[in-house]
Amino acid sequence: MSENKKTLIISIIAVVVFIASIAAVSFAFYTTTTKTETGDNLEHSVITENVETSLTEDNVVQIENMIPGDTFTKTFSVKSSVNLSYHIAISDITNTFTSTGDITYDLKENGVSIGSGTFPTSQTGGEGSVNLNTNLITINGGETKNYTLTVTYKNTAEDQRADMGKKISGKIYLRSATE
């Protein structure tokens, strides 16, 4: 075999290997996965490999022994390296209050309300997972959005003793637009 044919064959093999490696890297970049990372008592859900959520403490909402007039506040932020659309949702919901209408929530993005209402009960949403905001949220790559969830136990003129010692809990996560 002549030297030119050997060079041509090696060049073709090199080009094929180069194209295959580019395709593999591109496929890995665009593949979406869901994972949960834990460590240092922090847990946060990640929609894709390129999205991170950072919560001030953790993603758990756990409120016990509220008295009428109490509020509970949870702050967290979402940082993404890609453009993404999502809802902020809560799962694993427990709400043992009898007067469920007295427990309300307000979800704010940078001080502006994006969702509010009666705190969901375990039965709300069928599978126990509920969106806390109404409209889809879009975040651009490199952007960080800050959120505050405030849960309030309204002080009413009615007897609220039946709700003494009751609790609310759930886990905040990002629900992708495709879920």
What would the two tokens of residue 163 be? 């709700």
CATH topology of domain 36-176: Jelly Rolls (2.60.120)
Is the per-residue pLDDT at 58 higher than 90? Answer: no
pLDDT (0 to 100) of residue 118:
92
When mean pLDDT is compared across 27-41, 42-56, 96-110, 146-160, the lowest value belongs to: 27-41
Is the per-residue pLDDT at 116 higher than 50? Answer: yes
- Which has more confidence, 9 or 47? 9
Indicate the pLDDT class of residue 52, thresholds 50, 70 and 90.
low
Q: Give the pLDDT mean for 139-148.
A: 88
Antiparallel, parallel or unpaired: β 103-109 and 144-153: antiparallel
Q: How many residues does the chain have?
A: 179
- The letter for the amino acid at 47 is I
pLDDT (0 to 100) of residue 98:
87
pLDDT (0 to 100) of residue 152:
93
Average pLDDT value for the chain: 76
- Contact present, 109 and 145 (Cβ < 8 Å): yes
Indicate the pLDDT class of residue 34, thresholds 50, 70 and 90.
very low
Q: How far apart are the first and last CA of the chain?
A: 58
Distance, CA of 111 to chain centre: 19
pLDDT (0 to 100) of residue 60:
82
Q: Where are the domains of the chain?
A: 1-31, 36-176
Of the candidates 154, 174, 162, 166, the residue with the CA atom closest to the CA atom of residue 54: 174
